[in-house]
Structure 1
Amino acid sequence: MERNLTMVALFAALIAALGLVPSLTLGFGVPITAQTLGVMLAGTVLGAKRGALAALLIVVLVALGLPLLAGGRGGLGIFTSPTAGFLLGWPLGAFVTGLITDKTRQLPLSVSAIIGAVIGGIGIVYLCGVIGMSIVLDKTLIEATWLVTAFIPGDVVKAVLAGFITQGLAKARPQSVLTRH
């Protein structure tokens, strides 16, 4: 129990720390950040439940006003901005990433983690983000989908990084990759 809490808190801190990497905000108000890499890693390393809890912890802390998002943003106002859907999608994205990484054990861990990160960390998070942008920006789902295409190349790189980081962590400290225990 104590180890699980520690790992959840550690990955929540990682997601927050990745918000310190300088971001680039696009014209429609959504920044390109490194934080989604942390969400992907939470899923690939911690698994579905613990990964989702780490991402949910960040969402709760942001709601409480802590400036943990890229650019030092936080507070309830975030949930009425174009980024709201992406942020709310982080726990579900981490969950799906972890579930896929765990359920595809027949594949090498790096491949399994990349697939999980693409489906959960990109697909699910984008789905939530597109719905949120559509509502906040008063766009159709198709228009909002076109807006997020700018994120695809960087997020694919993050998914590949998540796969190789997870594999490297498994080699260095096998007991720390909970999706394979």
Structure 2
Amino acid sequence: MTSSPSSRPAGRTARRSPATDVALIAGFAALVAVCAILPAIKVGAGLVPITLQTFAVLLAGAVLGPVRGFLAVALYVVVGAAGLPVFSGGAAGLGVLAGPTAGYLLGFPLAAGLCGLLVSRLPRRKLASVPLVFAAGLVSSALFIHTLGMAGLVLRADLTWAQAFDVDKVFWIGDVLKNVAMALVATAVHRAFPDLLGRRAPATSATPATAPAGSAS
């Protein structure tokens, strides 16, 4: 007996190319770096600059999924810590991770991973839903980027939590706008490349794995 060529287990995931994964991770790490070194705006006490990093970080998660999104942003942080001037304002080195913005940087990979996890759990038809992708990005940003960012200000800038919140709250309006832009871009990408997340296909009716008894083998 031979297996039917068209028979595959229901819900089987299409195999991804490791080379493609590496290219996507590197590409999105570069995108985060570009968004970080674009001219920044400093407001309030000037401890934390406003850049497009949040847009790129959450886009990496929403487009690549939790694992690749996390790895792309983690690669960006590692490269910057290793000495390449990819942090905001062209900063680089381990000293940046000891500064007041350290919490924001450490929160970036976690936010990308959570955003990717939330988006990847959406039904396939909802991947084009801007409000749902926007909500995934905003929740991820609030839980990791803003929370860890304020923790970094408390630990590294000798601020109280109330003072850290006063610094951080300035960035919320921009964060909302960047998440809207992220959701618009991410949903457009998923409409164009619906299998980019490597999601499992929906279960279908079982197909016999073997030819009927008595058929040619």
Query: In the TM superposition, what whole-angstrom CA distance separates every residue of 1:132-175 from its partner, at most 9, and x where no partner exists?
Result: 01111111222211210000000100111111101111223333
Task: Work out which structure has the larger RCO, using CA pairs closer than 8 Å and 6 or more positions apart in sequence.
Answer: 2
Query: In the TM superposition, what whole-angstrom CA distance separates every residue of 1:106-132 from its partner, at most 9, and x where no partner exists?
Result: 744322221111011343210110100
| Amino acid of the structure 1 residue aligned with 2:48 | V
TM-score normalized by the length of structure 2: 0.78
Residue 130 (structure 2) pairs with residue 130 (structure 1):
no
Residue 39 (structure 2) pairs with residue 22 (structure 1):
yes
Kindly report which structure 2 residues correspond to 1:36-55, keeping only aligned pairs within 5 A, or say none: 36-55=54-73
Report the Cα distance in structure 1 between the residues aligned to 2:52 and 2:122, rounded to whole angstroms: 26
Moved >3 Å (runs of 4+): 106-109
| Amino acid of the structure 2 residue aligned with 1:166 | A
Native 8 Å contact 1:48 1:94 kept in 2: yes
Give the count of matched residue pairs.
Answer: 180
Displacement of 1:180 after TM fit? Answer: 5.3
RMSD: 1.6
- Aligned equivalent of 1:12: 29
2:172 is aligned, of 152, 172, 175, to: 152
Which one has the largest radius of gyration? 2
Native 8 Å contact 1:122 1:155 kept in 2: no
Cα 1:138–1:20, aligned 2, differ >3 Å: closer, same or farther?
closer
Identity of aligned residues (%): 35
Greater share of helix residues, 1 or 2?
1
- Which stretches in structure 1 are left out of the alignment for 5+ residues? none
SS at match of 1:71: helix
SS at match of 1:152: helix
| Amino acid of the structure 2 residue aligned with 1:45 | V
Native 8 Å contact 1:45 1:179 kept in 2: no
Native 8 Å contact 1:44 1:113 kept in 2: yes
Native 8 Å contact 1:101 1:115 kept in 2: no
SS at match of 1:19: helix
